[in-house]
Amino acid sequence: MAPFPRPDQLLPHRPPFLFVDQVTALQPGVSASGLWNLVDDAWFFAGHFPGRPTLPGVLMCEAIAQMGAIALLADDRFAGKLPLFGGLDRARFRRQVVPGDSLELHVELGRMSARAGKGAGRAMLRGEVACECELMFVLVDA
């Protein structure tokens, strides 16, 4: 079995806004899983919050969306497309995430068309849900 692609082989994102470090499972157009390892000196920890660094919840949602984009862009039907956020629903934050933590990201795509789609995902921390949300996205030409 061939190794999974690197996130930067599918996503247009680049540091410091590339939040997926590794793809661990992939069914193109269906689902994807991966890891985000939070380094101690990540840019957002310095100001959120001084003395008690905490991963902003919105960045967990972005990481979940990036995992969804990997599932989508791995599907040949969507070659040459760029998925953009169209909406975020039912976002819930259940666990504090701090420097040194590793988040397991999981996304399943739902209804898809040539122009838009939906998905649902979660970020897991040591086997417990840290964040979960539903995603809506639109597809534009890259």
Cβ distance 63 to 22 under 8 Å?
A: no
Is the residue at 13 inside a domain?
yes
Q: How far apart are CA 18 and CA 114, in angstroms?
A: 25
For residue 123, give the CATH number of its domain: 3.10.129.10
Q: What is the residue range of 68's domain?
A: 7-141
Is the residue at 1 inside a domain?
no
Our count of domains for the chain comes to 1
Cα angle 90-94-98, degrees, rounded to a multiple of 5: 125
pLDDT in tens, 6-46: 999 999 999 999 999 999 999 999 999 999 999 999 999 99
Give the DSSP H/E element, type plus range, for residue 10. helix 7-10
Beta partners for 89? 134
Q: Please tell me the pTM assigned to this model.
A: 0.96
Q: List residues with catalytic annotation.
A: 48
Is the residue at 53 inside a domain?
yes
Structure tokens that stand for 54 in this block = 């905490």
Structure tokens that stand for 71 in this block = 């599932």
Is the residue at 26 inside a domain?
yes
pLDDT band at 125 (very low <50, low <70, confident <90, very high): very high
